[in-house]
Amino acid sequence: MPLTNSMRAIEIEAGSLKLTERPIPTPAAYQVLIKTAAAGVNRPDIMQRKGLYPAPSGASDIPGLEIAGTVAATGANVIHLKPGDAVCALVTGGGYAEYCLASAALCLPMPEGWSFIQAAALPETFFTVWSNVFDRAHLMPNETLLVHGGSSGIGTTAIQLAKAFHAKVIVTARSEAKCQFCMELGADAAINYKELDFAEEINRLTSSKGVDVILDMIGGDYFQRNLKCMAFDARLVQIAIQNGAKAEINLLPLMLKRLTITGSTLRARDDDFKESIAQKLHQKVWPLLETGKIKPIIHSTFALSDAAKAHELMESSQHIGKIILEV
């Protein structure tokens, strides 16, 4: 256990991030206390800071949804983890702190030879992509996946996972440099949405067949254009709404092409649901991480005290891949 009873943490105050001291939390029966070495920065953290995405009931008000570090203490009913174990974990909050509580079932072992910074880039994006692209949308080998925001943490993860499981990938991105990076990462095609209408370009690339699965974090006016470039029996998964929650819809393509429209948020789901994703990742994805076939793309790291600067970078959309806080 830690030698002191307090820890440094980042809290939200009037839309800003503030370094403060908090009591070190105590793990419940099925939780572990992790001494945080690194924490991922994600779009939901930005939304929470702005008051648009409150923490679920019972979750820490400290932002941060993914961490890596060492187990400092275990709850009474935890048997598969012990103090000193190196893990990464998906959490419902509390990541921007020196210590963080995590469900023991949502802790995954550090891939062999990895740093804490690398491991902290895994949970939020890999859980999200697996749950939505493979579990909800059932992406199959030889199908085509469209990823909006291909150079983001979610996007770079989706490219690599889809290619590892033998799908084709088309992405959209905001610059030629980002498009080029996505291509080098494995995307089959990349569309600069600042210069081209992505729906028209996808129909050109697919000879008007369209794509089988769309992973969309944009929403708003993208919705109707998504319908235009979906193949028969295609699936659209909405995971965020950066361009807004409302859109007009022409229902005719939905019927004629037998389309499936779904969406999800992961943070509020219960631990049993998330544990099933963790088990699939450990079985199917962790071996790919161990061999280096796939890896998180890390753009930059910041000290915990510079969390506000990390948020500024994310909001600028100038980054490619993940932004990490070193704790």
State how far the Cα of 147 lies from the Cα of 192, in Å rounded to an integer. 12
From the CA atom positions of the chain, what is the Rg in Å? 20
Asked if pLDDT for residue 2 goes beyond 70, the answer is: no
Asked if pLDDT for residue 233 goes beyond 60, the answer is: yes
pLDDT tens sequence across 157-171? 999 999 999 999 999
State how far the Cα of 122 lies from the Cα of 97, in Å rounded to an integer. 18
E strand or H helix that includes residue 226:
helix 222-228
Q: Is 167 helix (H, G, I), strand (E, B) or coil?
A: coil
Beta carbons of 98 and 8 less than 8 angstroms apart: yes
Domains of the chain by start residue, with CATH: 6-122+267-326 (3.90.180.10), 126-263 (3.40.50.720)
Q: Which two tokens stand for residue 187?
A: 């995307």
Report the DSSP pairing between strands 66-74 and 86-90. Answer: antiparallel
Beta carbons of 259 and 230 less than 8 angstroms apart: yes
Asked if pLDDT for residue 1 goes beyond 90, the answer is: no
pLDDT tens sequence across 174-201? 999 999 999 999 999 999 999 999 999 9
Asked if pLDDT for residue 110 goes beyond 60, the answer is: yes
Report the DSSP pairing between strands 31-41 and 322-326. Answer: antiparallel
Beta carbons of 87 and 68 less than 8 angstroms apart: yes
pTM of the complete model = 0.95
Which of 239-248, 274-283, 307-316 has the weakest average pLDDT? 239-248
Task: Give the residue, 249 or 306, on which the prediction is more confident.
Answer: 306
Write down the pLDDT at residue 4: 73
Q: Which two tokens stand for residue 144?
A: 């085509």
Asked if pLDDT for residue 284 goes beyond 70, the answer is: yes
Running DSSP on this structure, what letter comes out for residue 250? -
- Tell me the HSE value of 30 on the side-chain side, using a 13 A CA sphere: 6
Write down the pLDDT at residue 102: 98
Closest C-alpha to 69, from 27, 103, 115, 116: 116
Write down the pLDDT at residue 255: 96
Distance set, CA 217 to CA 17, 74, 82, 223, 265 (Å): 24, 36, 37, 10, 11
Asked if pLDDT for residue 282 goes beyond 70, the answer is: yes
283: left (phi over 0), alpha (psi -120 to 50) or beta: alpha
Mean pLDDT of the chain: 96
Beta carbons of 185 and 177 less than 8 angstroms apart: no
